[in-house]
Structure 1
């Protein structure tokens, strides 16, 4: 159940990040950034719950998923900071997309 909640939050997070990073006005970017922060806090909370349940069974994958989720949060924050500076790069977008895929793949594997 926690895994399904975690994956659902990750998918919704993808949508909010895309909308936030493609928003035209700074007001819209800040609104979506706030929603994104709430969602990634939920993602981390459900990730910790999953970590405690699955650590005895699959410790390496559980720790890897949690570490990837932390990196994803950092990349999301960096992306929104770059967006507010009007200097968003394609490379950062590609790395952010890669980490989204890795987090979801690890969550699906669990």
Structure 2
């Protein structure tokens, strides 16, 4: 457990509680992205082609653009998550200090 010594208690508390939540959100998003979304996209394109060929062409152009926007959004969001993690470490540190000073 040498690597745990480099973090203070507040950081470890934040990481333990927040990381479990992040894993849950990640697995849920992974299932949604890799299972549900491709099926809906393929089904939507098939139905659009059956209804109107022009509609299918519009969807074939718009869907990749939306995918690119999502990828850009994710790449910008991950560095912000690191900042939020550090801010939560600070909040937990302050709360631990307050709670350790409270008389019971």
Structures share a fold, TM > 0.5?
no
TM-score of the pair, normalised by structure 1: 0.42
Q: Between Structure 1 and Structure 2, whose CA radius of gyration is higher?
A: 2
Higher normalized helix content (fraction of residues): 2
